[in-house]
Amino acid sequence: MPHADSSLVPPEIKSKAEFWAHVLEQLTALIEGQRNWISNLANASALIYNSLLAFEQFGAESRAVNWCGFYLESQLFPISSPDADLLLLGPFCGKPACQFIRAEKGKGVCADAFVSREVVIVDDVNAYPGHIACDGDTNSEIVLPIIHRDHAIGVLDLDCLAISGFDEADRVGLQAIVILLAKACDWPKFSM
Amino acid sequence: MPHADSSLVPPEIKSKAEFWAHVLEQLTALIEGQRNWISNLANASALIYNSLLAFEQFGAESRAVNWCGFYLESQLFPISSPDADLLLLGPFCGKPACQFIRAEKGKGVCADAFVSREVVIVDDVNAYPGHIACDGDTNSEIVLPIIHRDHAIGVLDLDCLAISGFDEADRVGLQAIVILLAKACDWPKFSM
């Protein structure tokens, strides 16, 4: 099967629970045999993004997901002066995005999810204190922290063009995906 | 300006030469101050992909670009056993893709561009010997090698839904982009 077809959504899938179980299964197959986080997160963001666009029950056109990707601890990146308080842009699908986020409470949804280590669902980003508008078309957002050996090492961030684009079923489905990714990749600087 | 707006194409831009000069200017601004290749290539693929989708003269819908991203030397990735003959999937926009490519002549368009260190434009991928079909909808392709200090370190790969989607003007424009990226990023294992 061509890899692109992993983001097709079979017509018999109707509920969000079935959808997320399907995406998790496809992701498991897609990243099998590879443990570097760059390739795995690149394919994960593409799979989630394109599967959501192909799933009518989620929302299309004016209700579509418009960004899906990762920000990660600067210590994971090949740079000379990593700064533990900085999250750097990782693989994503969507329009160009902020290159970094300061990992301090109050510096936006990604920063808050990372610092609190809790999933944050925002129904209306324009009403969120400290929101960083990488894309003025975004109206709602969900951010999940990625936890490895008790360290927060990054976040998975999804944006939606609609108000209240994400709900509890998305939280549960995406939570299983970040747990898989944390386990399926090597995180060199956090393995001691 | 929100980062997403860097992929807007002003209506006064009509020719491909003007388009690629505009994309190069936007990319220069987008990656300023950041030298890690992961963040920079993630934003570069998003900028090129979304700018092409926003540029009517390139091709929309059935003639759209459907993949834009990078494969890079495995030695650049945080893995335990790098294999100099393997290119691994880097940041990209589009549907999920092959996780790796064997860097040997005859193993597809990316491999041939990498090994020969020459840009390869393929008008019809289905007629190309050794073509790897990551997405059955792709009909044409352009692949540019990325050269750093006389090493080939990876490739920039674009796919198009149309036959003969890429021409000489695209080659010239994208060549300037890969030269910028090679210079603007640090490539730790290739800096001796």
The answer for residues whose C-beta is within 8 angstroms of residue A151's C-beta and 6 or more apart is A73, A190
Residue A179 has pLDDT above 60, yes or no: yes
Please tell me which of the candidates A93, A133, A186 has its beta carbon nearest to residue B2.
Answer: A133
What is the spatial distance between Cα A29 and Cα A44, in angstroms, rounded to a whole number?
Answer: 11
Which of A35, A42, A97 is facing B43, going by the closest CB pair? A97
Q: Do A2 and B134 touch (CB under 8 A)?
A: yes
What's the CATH architecture for B8-190? 2-Layer Sandwich (3.30)
**Domain limits, chain A:** 14-190
Residue in chain A lying closest to B96 (CA): A4
Burial class (CB in 10 A: 0-12, 13-18, 19+), B163: middle
Closest CA–CA distance from residue A20 to any residue of chain B (Å):
16
pLDDT at B190: 81
Question: Which of the pair, A10 or A59, is modelled with greater confidence?
Answer: A10
- Whether residue A2 and residue B33 make contact (CB cut-off 8 A), yes or no, is no
Least confident of A176-180, B20-24, B38-42, B103-107: B103-107
Tokens standing for A25?
């299964």
A137-144 mean pLDDT: 96
Distance CA A58, CA A50 (A): 12
Helix (H) or strand (E) holding A181: helix A168-184
pLDDT score of A24 more than 80: yes
In this prediction, residue B83 carries a pLDDT of 81
Q: How many Å apart are CA A25 and CA A22, to the nearest integer?
A: 5
ipTM of the complex in this document: 0.96
Give the confidence band of B61 by pLDDT, cuts at 50, 70, 90.
confident
The mean pLDDT of B119-128, rounded to a whole number, is 95
Instruction: State the Cα angle at B11 between B9 and B17, rounded to 5°.
Output: 65
Residue B192 has pLDDT above 70, yes or no: no
Question: What is the percent of chain B where pLDDT is above 70?
Answer: 99
Q: What percent of chain B has pLDDT over 90?
A: 84
Give the pLDDT confidence score for residue B2 in this predicted structure: 83
Instruction: Summarize the confidence of residues B122-150 as an average pLDDT.
Output: 93
Q: Is the pLDDT of residue A192 over 70?
A: no
Give the tens place of pLDDT for each residue, A42-93: 999 999 999 999 999 898 888 999 999 999 999 999 887 878 789 999 999 9
- For residue B138, pLDDT over 70 is answered with yes
pLDDT grade for B119, boundaries at 50, 70 and 90: very high
- Residue A159: per-residue pLDDT: 97
The sign of the dihedral angle between the CA atoms of A40, A41, A45, A46 is negative
Other Cβ atoms less than 10 A from the Cβ of B180: the count is 16
A28, A32, A35, A39: best mutation site toward chain B, by most B Cβ within 10 Å?
A39
For B166, residues 6+ apart whose C-beta sits below 8 A from its C-beta are B121, B140, B141, B142, B158, B160
Label residue B175 left, alpha or beta by phi (over 0 means left) and psi (-120 to 50 means alpha).
Answer: alpha
- Predicted confidence at residue A162, as pLDDT, reads 96
Give the model's pLDDT for residue A32: 96
- Bridge partners (DSSP) of residue A136 are none
Instruction: State the Cα–Cα distance between residues A122 and A125, nearest whole angstrom.
Output: 6
A115 Rama class: left (phi>0) / alpha (psi -120 to 50) / beta = alpha
Neighbours of A44 (CB within 10 A): 28
The radius of gyration of chain B from alpha carbons, rounded to an integer in Å, stands at 16
- Terminal CA-to-CA distance of chain A, rounded, Å? 38
* Span B33-54, average pLDDT: 97
Chain B residues close to A47, C-beta within 8 Å: 96
β-partners of residue B89 are B71
Interchain proximity A39–B137, CB inside 8 Å: no
pLDDT at B165: 96
Distance CA(B28)–CA(B25), nearest Å, equals 5
pLDDT given for residue B133 in this prediction: 81
Confidence bin at B11 (pLDDT 50/70/90): very high
* pLDDT at residue A133, rounded to an integer: 81
CATH of the domain spanning A14-190: 3.30.450.40
d(CA A15, CA A19): 6
A56 touches chain B (CB under 8 A): no
Q: Closest partner residue to B90 among A2, A42, A135, by Cβ?
A: A42
